Structure 1
Amino acid sequence: MPEAHRIPVGDATTDAAPTVAAVHHEADSDDWLVWCHGLRSDKAGSYEARCRRASEAGYNAVRFDARGCGESDGEFVDSTLETRLTDLRHVVDYFDPRTYVVFGSSFGGKVAIHAAAEDERVAAVATRAPVTTSEPFEEYRTVVEREGTWTFDTGDRIERRFFDALDRYPFDDVVGELDVPVAIFHGGDDAVVDPADSFAAAARLETDVLVERFAGEGHRFSAAGEQRLRDRLFDWLAWADAHQ
């Protein structure tokens, strides 16, 4: 049965320390898979189904809401690349696996890639439509520079600090640092994150990289595309584990 957790991600010595909501899908193994959702997403929906599949495949699977998202503390405007990297680190430290695989979608893919470059515990990194350039956010940046904030249709906002953090983590920083297997899955009809970005990123990495273009899939995958993604992901993970 999945178990819910509240994990402190700030100064745990104070009563006001923010917490993030996480769910652990347990498996009888020492293998761990941690999932990072996209910019305006959360741990529900496809991540619940992905965790069930991961648990069936023998992975202790953890999905969590970054601060300002879903059931976690904080405001969305406070959620930057740096805070999401911090949240991920606290979640991993809380469960304390010896090694783990990290999977990220879209903006969560950028989180996963940079985490993998920084954390020696990461054994492999898999992504779906990962953000590897700032291009998907340039429209928002233009408005923020002019007006100070961008407001999405949900009322969620981003401000200059979002871009300040984004600029501090260029893809250049991971090119020579990633030394674990990497998988990139990308919808061929993605109109949010250009599939060409994933092929360009893969060409620059100095480690084993699998890139798959899913014909007919957009930034959000269809049910059939999602099923195929899971099948390909766990086939690749079996390969990656065998070649460690």
Structure 2
Amino acid sequence: MSETTHRIPVANDESVAAVHHETTGTDWIVFCHGFLSDKSGSYEQRCRYALEHGYNAVRFDFRGCGESDGTFLEQTLSSKLADLRAVVDYFDIPSYVCFGSSFGGKVAFHAAIDDDRIDALVTREPVTANETFDDYRSSVERDGVLEFETGDRIDGRFFDDLERHRFGAVVADLSIPVAIFHGRADDSVGIEHSIDATRRLETDVLLEAFAGEGHRFTRAGERRLRRRMIDWLDTLA
């Protein structure tokens, strides 16, 4: 078992940084980080836990994030979907579980309706309703650009692209099992969105509410998330 870092070409002479936690098994989990996040921290722990349970695990930075090329201003949901596909193609993964957290959950949902290599989805507090970003949209409509405390910025291009990816398309086409883990105290992506998504989706869905957990899970919450992820995946085997 080993960890190797890769530069994966995507588009416009840009590349994304990915880490492969490698084992000899044939099961894979690919992790998609959230909006103002990257592949470090909790993703490293999740990958190592998945590796301990027999999975090849891959974590990577979307363009404009972490160690990948590009600027945050130019990233969109479409570019993130392209980055994910490039990573999966690079490792020649025949089938995999896609894990997405927050906005990475939205990436995972929309990837799953276009990529039949995805066998199951695991999401943590996923963005399913575009209205989650309404405050950001209002700022962009007013000022032309929104700059976050991190220095990252978005403009109208992000929202033009977002509108082309409504959750209704996922509801219509998704047929694989889904697990949703959501903190009851999340004040960024309300748990009511995951409840509504569970109601609308017509495939098998596990929704588990974590009492006392906000948008960022505590260490105890993270440990429980990792255990529940593997426990649920074991039921699909």
TM-score (norm 1): 0.95
Q: Distance in 1 between matches of 2:152 and 2:208?
A: 32
The one-letter code matched in structure 2 to 1:179 is S
Task: Tell me if 1:10 matches 2:11.
Answer: yes
Q: Choose the corresponding residue for 1:217, options 209, 213, 216.
A: 213
Instruction: Report the CA distance between 1:67 and its aligned residue.
Output: 0.3
Q: Distance in 1 between matches of 2:51 and 2:31?
A: 13
Instruction: Report the CA distance between 1:155 and its aligned residue.
Output: 1.0
Instruction: Report the CA distance between 1:107 and its aligned residue.
Output: 0.2
Report what 2:109 is aligned to.
Answer: 113
Secondary structure of the 2:199 match is helix
Kindly report the root-mean-square deviation, in angstroms, between the aligned alpha carbons of the 2 structures.
0.7
Report what 1:27 is aligned to.
Answer: 23
Task: Tell me if 1:238 matches 2:234.
Answer: yes
Task: Tell me if 1:122 matches 2:123.
Answer: no
Q: Distance in 2 between matches of 1:204 and 1:81?
A: 22
Q: What pairs up with 1:191-230 in 2 under 5 angstroms?
A: 191-230=187-226
Q: Distance in 1 between matches of 2:4 and 2:67?
A: 15
Task: Tell me if 1:155 matches 2:155.
Answer: no
Instruction: Report the CA distance between 1:135 and its aligned residue.
Output: 2.2
Q: Distance in 2 between matches of 1:230 and 1:3?
A: 22
Q: Distance in 2 between matches of 1:117 and 1:211?
A: 20
Q: Distance in 2 between matches of 1:101 and 1:213?
A: 21
Structure 1: 4+ residue segments shifted above 3 A: none
Q: Distance in 1 between matches of 2:65 and 2:129?
A: 23
Q: Distance in 2 between matches of 1:197 and 1:24?
A: 32
Instruction: Report the CA distance between 1:146 and its aligned residue.
Output: 1.2
Report what 1:90 is aligned to.
Answer: 86
Task: Tell me if 1:101 matches 2:97.
Answer: yes
Q: Choose the corresponding residue for 2:167, options 145, 167, 171.
A: 171
Report what 2:40 is aligned to.
Answer: 44
Q: Distance in 1 between matches of 2:236 and 2:86?
A: 25
Report what 1:14 is aligned to.
Answer: none
Instruction: Report the CA distance between 1:136 and its aligned residue.
Output: 2.1
Q: Distance in 1 between matches of 2:97 and 2:90?
A: 15
Instruction: Report the CA distance between 1:3 and its aligned residue.
Output: 0.2
User: Which stretch of structure 1 is more off in the superposition, 129-138 or 99-108?
Assistant: 129-138
- Please list the CA deviations of residues 174-206 of structure 1 after superposition, one character each: whole Å capped at 9, or x if unmatched: 112111110000000000001010010011111
- Please list the CA deviations of residues 81-109 of structure 1 after superposition, one character each: whole Å capped at 9, or x if unmatched: 01000000000000111100000000000
Q: Distance in 2 between matches of 1:240 and 1:105?
A: 21
TM-score (norm 2): 0.98
Q: Distance in 1 between matches of 2:163 and 2:172?
A: 18
The one-letter code matched in structure 2 to 1:124 is A
Count of residue correspondences: 236
Q: Distance in 1 between matches of 2:64 and 2:80?
A: 10
Q: Distance in 1 between matches of 2:196 and 2:150?
A: 32
The one-letter code matched in structure 1 to 2:140 is V
Instruction: Report the CA distance between 1:27 and its aligned residue.
Output: 1.2
Q: Distance in 2 between matches of 1:6 and 1:53?
A: 23
The one-letter code matched in structure 2 to 1:149 is V
